Chain A
């Protein structure tokens, strides 16, 4: 064995370990039901739930009471609703969003989100027709 070959074998092993650990640590996009199940098995892993804001239920954010707490309801792709608790101020485009990705853990019936990605429909797309004044 030459030193270079040993080094290459070690490097390949590290590379493989890196990729395996990467995929070992990733989670899936799940429903609220799955998030609840998985959170029981792996309480410290964070899950991603693709959902929509449930506009029929109240969205509570009172900055004067607690600027770091937002409580709202969301509907996942299977149509199940879950209460979501988020430890940060209300995202600015929350109500406009057509889709939310919640990242967090499920505990005792609630989803605790550490991050919310909201996708707004018009953000990168064309504006609707806007009519100016006829000159």
Chain B
């Protein structure tokens, strides 16, 4: 077969990218080997080699990033990733989002952060540098293999971002038009890319993913320290400090990333809120909950040398959950469960393998016996090599028979590994479990608080994993709803908050009775009175909400009091109080903005359905529907609770924005007289259908959130009828067939264009006749026709107005006199009519009181984490100096 020459492709760039991918994978493998040898033999030669390999690896990662960015910026649509995720019209800042819209890009982002963190770790001189770097490099092996894009039959190893469009989508070479210009010139017809998902074209989507992935990337460091400490065994506790610092970084950054995602959802999605317990949100919340618990365990371990078992266990579980989160969101298993559902690249097996490999690594490190260790190592190696080999070797027709055997073998193996790991960990840290915390010690309450965080995780884990269990065991359990989460998490958050409030008033090891009793009494007293006041002001009387309110007020005031009362060496030492206060403010904001939110467009509405009674409820059948949406007719003020809302019309966006239609809604607060405008939009996206994006007005004490649910243009238009022809001259009037509308021919204008002469008439239109109605009540219509200069063809451009219920078309023009004056022209005009349609829009508006507390709490929390991290870094510097 003659090979086809494809013109215009920049293949060398893709080859460069491929080469960089292979370089990063190979150097990561070499770095693992060198660092492994270095930590076994303790020689610096191997360590120096490992360092070199890791530097080369980081260079490779940077090169991949640079090449991919270059391809996106220069719109090289011959590359599938670029074509799939970007388009010509995208502004620069959204081109950055294209980079990580796809799976390959987000793995690349993760790898980038991991490499950056690895470079920071290389500069630190700790006792565990070699084993820690070995594990960092191992993580990079796993991540870079996701980009390899090697295929053998049904077996895939990674997916490359540098795959060509014509390879991924061979149907593009079948386009009929290529027959005439030649298949080799296919790029001439690929003029634009598929574009970025419009929901992701949001400022927050530019910064949320990097923040979140930075958070994920930092989770590997405490994991690496914990594994390294177990691997090396012995009593060396110097791993705790760096692990603590990195776990704090992780909790702070991951927390920020999660809330940023919530803010994006609030700004661009229609569900009306920032948190929906969506599996994708839960996937990042799960490691966060455990890492927060782990950080507190490390704090105890640092101060008292105890609870090492819990510290190790939580850190490692947290990192496993990061991998599990990746598996959940990237494997396509969530399918129906999530609004996100990322595309499945057929790599779920590989992702699962990594999860198992890292769990195996934890087990390997926790076991101290040399023989067992090598047994685990060989089993792991066999697993990593054999599974892909077997999956390649087995013909597809056999796969069905093997699947269930492999599945159950996997489940048993997994359970055994888990039990083995916990047993080994217990054995390694047993001296520490035997001793006991005093009830008057800070560590006792901290430990308890961490356990409640774990309880919270347990619920989220089992609820989010339902699709996984369905797949594994063939269940048909439906995905839990928001309420299923809220019902439980409301009560689990309370003890967490109370313990976060109390904790600081206890000292490590032991606290004199009068000290902690006094501390608790005064703060509880203060918070009780504050919560009573707040409950009264906010009208909250439900028991569960009242307790939650008290717990969050207690959390804020107990920590604020502590920070004000205790004089510390440096203001940075108040970091934990600030973080705790921030968390309290956040949860208080969550409570108020959820419990007191009002759907202001909710009403009894007009035209009740027979199934509903006069209150819009379906009591007879025990079913209630809240009538949450209101219809607003153009230019008529509607009422939404205490707001008068007027739909003023709509406008099209400009430029890149031009597929968006903005609805201008004017709100007047009838209590205060203040008015403001909101412009929710809809986008008729050619690829995704109609999308709607809300608009929100932010006030200090509340937000007004509004989105369009339906608009009159979505109704099927009624056809025009009652057609009628009239012949008339300037100034003459006539009526439509039902005589509902009177029309008058007012003026005439014409202008030449390239194709011909365009003639336009201006016609006044009135529904009560011209003698009675004042001049300003006329509406004007402008029917046109065009005469093609070359062919002399006559082409009418009629007016079709749904709003007037009027159709006007110029059928013919007759020149009565060669003198070209308007009076000498006669027109044959066809009119049609239908019931006029008043444009309307169906909207839902929600008032969120004090939602700003959620964002303010987040900022405070992150500030608190930054202070604590700065303090711990200072401590470590002083320690090393």
- With A21-B488, A103-B481 already in contact, the answer to whether A68 and B611 are too (CB < 8 A) is no
Question: Which of B189, B448, B691 interacts with A7 by CB under 8 Å?
Answer: B448
Q: A56 near B: Cβ within 8 Å?
A: no
The interface bits of chain A over 96-135 (1 if a CB of B lies within 8 angstroms of the residue's CB, else 0) are 1000010101011010101101011011111101111111
- In whole angstroms, how far apart are the Cα atoms of A85 and B624 in the complex? 12
Could you say which residues of chain B place their CB within 8 Å of the CB of A103?
478, 481
Q: Can you name the residue of chain B whose Cβ is closest to the Cβ of A16?
A: B458
Q: B484 near A: Cβ within 8 Å?
A: yes
Could you say which residues of chain A place their CB within 8 Å of the CB of B794?
none
How many residues of chain B are within 8 Å of chain A by beta carbon? 78
Could you say which residues of chain B place their CB within 8 Å of the CB of A123?
688-689
Could you say which residues of chain B place their CB within 8 Å of the CB of A131?
175, 177, 189
Q: B544 near A: Cβ within 8 Å?
A: no
Q: Is the CB of A29 within 8 A of B478?
A: yes
Q: Is the CB of A122 within 8 A of B462?
A: no
Q: A22 near B: Cβ within 8 Å?
A: yes
Question: Which of B172, B188, B191, B627 interacts with A68 by CB under 8 Å?
Answer: B627
Could you say which residues of chain A place their CB within 8 Å of the CB of B691?
92
Q: Is the CB of A22 within 8 A of B480?
A: yes
- In whole angstroms, how far apart are the Cα atoms of A47 and B484 in the complex? 13
How many residues of chain A are within 8 Å of chain B by beta carbon? 66
- In whole angstroms, how far apart are the Cα atoms of A69 and B715 in the complex? 15
Q: Can you name the residue of chain A whose Cβ is closest to the Cβ of B842?
A: A67
Q: B563 near A: Cβ within 8 Å?
A: no
The interface bits of chain B over 593-630 (1 if a CB of A lies within 8 angstroms of the residue's CB, else 0) are 00000000000011111011000101001110111111
Q: Can you name the residue of chain A whose Cβ is closest to the Cβ of B169?
A: A126
Q: Can you name the residue of chain B whose Cβ is closest to the Cβ of A118?
A: B689
Q: B501 near A: Cβ within 8 Å?
A: no
- With A19-B458, A124-B343 already in contact, the answer to whether A119 and B336 are too (CB < 8 A) is yes
Q: Is the CB of B688 within 8 A of A26?
A: no
Q: Is the CB of A120 within 8 A of B689?
A: yes
Q: How far is the CB of A105 from chain B (nearest CB, A)?
A: 6
Q: Is the CB of B436 within 8 A of A120?
A: no
Which residues of chain B in 695-747 are interfacial with respect to chain A, using CB atoms and an 8 Å cutoff?
Answer: 709-710, 712, 714-715
Q: Is the CB of A122 within 8 A of B478?
A: no
The interface bits of chain A over 1-44 (1 if a CB of B lies within 8 angstroms of the residue's CB, else 0) are 01110011001001100110111011111100000000000011
- In whole angstroms, how far apart are the Cα atoms of A73 and B114 in the complex? 52
Q: How far is the CB of B8 from chain A (nearest CB, A)?
A: 11
Q: Is the CB of A93 within 8 A of B605?
A: no
Q: How far is the CB of B747 from chain A (nearest CB, A)?
A: 36
Q: How far is the CB of B33 from chain A (nearest CB, A)?
A: 39
Could you say which residues of chain B place their CB within 8 Å of the CB of A11?
448, 451-452, 455
- With A67-B605, A89-B842, A93-B689 already in contact, the answer to whether A134 and B189 are too (CB < 8 A) is yes
Q: Can you name the residue of chain A whose Cβ is closest to the Cβ of B625?
A: A87
Specify which of A19, A48, A64, A133 lies most central, judged by the most chain B CB atoms within 10 Å of its CB.
A64
Q: Is the CB of B688 within 8 A of A120?
A: yes
Q: B439 near A: Cβ within 8 Å?
A: yes
Q: Is the CB of A26 within 8 A of B451?
A: no
Q: B692 near A: Cβ within 8 Å?
A: yes
Q: B171 near A: Cβ within 8 Å?
A: yes
Q: Is the CB of B84 within 8 A of A126?
A: yes
Q: Is the CB of B436 within 8 A of A92?
A: no
Q: Can you name the residue of chain B whose Cβ is closest to the Cβ of A29?
A: B476
- In whole angstroms, how far apart are the Cα atoms of A26 and B384 in the complex? 37
Could you say which residues of chain B place their CB within 8 Å of the CB of A90?
710, 714
Q: Can you name the residue of chain A whose Cβ is closest to the Cβ of B611?
A: A85
Q: Is the CB of A67 within 8 A of B626?
A: no
Could you say which residues of chain A place their CB within 8 Å of the CB of B630?
67
- In whole angstroms, how far apart are the Cα atoms of A4 and B630 in the complex? 55
Could you say which residues of chain A place their CB within 8 Å of the CB of B623?
105, 107, 112
- With A93-B689, A132-B190, A133-B191 already in contact, the answer to whether A107 and B478 are too (CB < 8 A) is no
Q: Is the CB of A28 within 8 A of B189?
A: no
- With A68-B627, A129-B172 already in contact, the answer to whether A22 and B451 are too (CB < 8 A) is no
- In whole angstroms, how far apart are the Cα atoms of A32 and B690 in the complex? 29
Q: Is the CB of B621 within 8 A of A87?
A: no
Question: Which of A88, A101, A124 interacts with B341 by CB under 8 Å?
Answer: A124
- With A21-B488, A47-B478 already in contact, the answer to whether A92 and B621 are too (CB < 8 A) is no
Could you say which residues of chain B place their CB within 8 Å of the CB of A61?
710
- With A48-B478, A66-B607, A67-B631 already in contact, the answer to whether A107 and B621 are too (CB < 8 A) is yes
- In whole angstroms, how far apart are the Cα atoms of A14 and B491 in the complex? 11
- With A26-B478, A89-B710 already in contact, the answer to whether A63 and B439 are too (CB < 8 A) is no
Q: Is the CB of B628 within 8 A of A129?
A: no
Q: A46 near B: Cβ within 8 Å?
A: yes
Q: B192 near A: Cβ within 8 Å?
A: yes
Q: How far is the CB of A9 from chain B (nearest CB, A)?
A: 11
Q: How far is the CB of A130 from chain B (nearest CB, A)?
A: 8
Question: Which of B480, B622, B629 interacts with A67 by CB under 8 Å?
Answer: B629
- In whole angstroms, how far apart are the Cα atoms of A119 and B338 in the complex? 10
Q: B840 near A: Cβ within 8 Å?
A: yes
The interface bits of chain B over 436-454 (1 if a CB of A lies within 8 angstroms of the residue's CB, else 0) are 1101000010011001101
Q: Is the CB of B447 within 8 A of A4?
A: yes
Question: Which of A47, A63, A85 interacts with B631 by CB under 8 Å?
Answer: A63
Q: Is the CB of B448 within 8 A of A125?
A: no
Could you say which residues of chain B place their CB within 8 Å of the CB of A30?
476
- With A22-B462, A122-B687 already in contact, the answer to whether A127 and B194 are too (CB < 8 A) is yes
Which residues of chain A in 63-94 are interfacial with respect to chain B, using CB atoms and an 8 Å cutoff?
Answer: 63-69, 85, 87-90, 92-93
Specify which of A7, A48, A68, A127 lies most central, judged by the most chain B CB atoms within 10 Å of its CB.
A68
Q: How far is the CB of B313 from chain A (nearest CB, A)?
A: 14
Q: Can you name the residue of chain B whose Cβ is closest to the Cβ of A86?
A: B625
- With A63-B631, A63-B710, A89-B710 already in contact, the answer to whether A126 and B194 are too (CB < 8 A) is yes
Q: Is the CB of A89 within 8 A of B181?
A: no
Q: Can you name the residue of chain B whose Cβ is closest to the Cβ of A95?
A: B689
Q: Is the CB of B455 within 8 A of A15?
A: yes
- In whole angstroms, how far apart are the Cα atoms of A22 and B466 in the complex? 11
Could you say which residues of chain A place their CB within 8 Å of the CB of B466?
26
Q: How far is the CB of A27 from chain B (nearest CB, A)?
A: 5
Q: Is the CB of B710 within 8 A of A67?
A: yes
Q: B371 near A: Cβ within 8 Å?
A: no
Q: Is the CB of B188 within 8 A of A26?
A: no
Q: Is the CB of B605 within 8 A of A124?
A: no
Q: B778 near A: Cβ within 8 Å?
A: no
Q: How far is the CB of B369 from chain A (nearest CB, A)?
A: 28
Could you say which residues of chain B place their CB within 8 Å of the CB of A88?
625, 628-629, 709
Question: Could you list which residues of chain A lie within 8 angstroms of chain B, going by C-beta atoms?
Answer: 2-4, 7-8, 11, 14-15, 18-19, 21-23, 25-30, 43-44, 46-48, 50, 61, 63-69, 85, 87-90, 92-93, 96, 101, 103, 105, 107-108, 110, 112, 114-115, 117, 119-120, 122-127, 129-135
Q: A28-B478, A85-B611 are in contact. List 4 more A-B contacts (CB 8 A).
A: A14-B455, A105-B622, A110-B611, A134-B188
> Ordered nearest first, which 4 A-B pairs have the shortest CB separation?
A87-B625, A132-B191, A48-B478, A89-B709
Question: Could you list which residues of chain B lie within 8 angstroms of chain A, going by C-beta atoms?
Answer: 84, 169, 171-172, 174-175, 177, 181, 188-192, 194, 197, 336, 339, 341-343, 436-437, 439, 444, 447-448, 451-452, 454-455, 458-459, 462-463, 466, 475-481, 484, 488, 492, 605-609, 611-612, 616, 618, 621-623, 625-631, 682, 687-692, 709-710, 712, 714-715, 840, 842
Could you list some 24 contacts between A and B, CB below 8 A?
A: A3-B444, A4-B447, A11-B451, A11-B455, A18-B455, A18-B459, A19-B459, A26-B466, A26-B484, A63-B712, A64-B607, A65-B607, A67-B710, A87-B625, A88-B628, A88-B709, A89-B629, A89-B709, A107-B623, A132-B189, A132-B190, A134-B177, A134-B181, A135-B188
